[in-house]
Amino acid sequence: MPGRPLIGIPLQTYPAVPGERPALWGIGRSYLEALARHGAVPLPIPPLASDPELARLYAERIDGLLLAGGSDIAPTRYGEPVRAQCGAIDPERDAVELELVRLVRDAGKPVFGICRGMQLLNVACGGTLYQDIPSQVPAALKHDYTAKQGHTDRTDSPHDVTVKPGTKLSAILGSTLHPVNSIHHQAVKDLGRDLLASAFAPDGIVEGIESPGPEFVLGVQWHPEDLLDAQPQMGRLFAAFVSAAGNRV
């Protein structure tokens, strides 16, 4: 199928398990399946941070960048000391993703961030994060429906988000209130430059961010890639992203 846009998706580091397997780079298959299902050619990008020329070469070739979920971002990336509750980090992935966001945005290509990816987009724009919602925002709802906490059904949607009218996100999702899954313990604190908050949980936690201009630069804190069957309207996020990237092919 000619004209299908090439969407880069940086991978996560999985350290070696002695006696079982070497270190791996990988990403949840539902991201790759969602991209292919919506007309993209997914291109996994290994976080080879020691070869910075690669980021430039990938950025030149891809038509859009998908930032997926994963490890916590190193707090030094937003100028804060590491709190005890901050989780495992993936410094090579941080480095490659931050460089890719800079290059891809400079080229005017679409960026879509999911969960950690939304947080990465915020940090790339100079914003900051709550390293751990329960300890830093005690009045917040529970957002941490992670496997670590014993939750394995990624389609469970424990809280709603209210989407701000007039945003790109509201144009894509079509209505203002959506139940969403919530598989995160960090969140956006201070917004980055030239970003606006487009969705909020009932406790005020930011669940969506985007650029104010017409370009597709958008992030969501929930996981639409795991809701395509339970809530088909979430597919519109991938359709809009792939379409924006395809318009450049």
Q: Which residues are catalytic?
A: 115, 223, 225
Binding mask 71-110 for Mn ion (x = CB under 5 A): ----------------------------------------
Segment near Mn ion (CB under 5 A), from 49-57, 90-98, 141-149, 171-179? Answer: 141-149
Q: Tokens 């993703």 appear where?
A: 97
Residue 154 is a binding residue for Mn ion (CB under 5 A)? no
d(CA 134, CA 142): 8
Binding mask 38-77 for Mn ion (x = CB under 5 A): ----------------------------------------
- Please, which residue, 32 or 206, has the CB nearer to Mn ion? 206
- In angstroms, give the least distance from the CB of 187 to Mn ion: 7
DSSP 162-227: EEPTTSHHHHHH-SSEEEE--B-S-EE-SPPTT-EEEEE-TTS-EEEEE-SSSS-EEEESS-GGG-
Residue 157 is a binding residue for Mn ion (CB under 5 A)? no
- In angstroms, give the least distance from the CB of 220 to Mn ion: 10
CB atoms under 10 Å from CB of 107, counted, come to: 13
Phi, psi angles (nearest 5°) of residue 25 = -115, 130
d(CA 183, CA 87): 14
Residue 143 is a binding residue for Mn ion (CB under 5 A)? yes
Residue 178 is a binding residue for Mn ion (CB under 5 A)? no
Whose CA is closest to 123, among 54, 188, 180, 171? 188
Residue choice 13, 182, 186, 211 for contact with Mn ion (CB under 5 A): 182
Residue 211 is a binding residue for Mn ion (CB under 5 A)? no
Segment near Mn ion (CB under 5 A), from 2-10, 13-21, 165-173, 176-184? Answer: 176-184
d(CA 116, CA 42): 19
Binding site residues, Mn ion, CB under 5 A? 143, 182
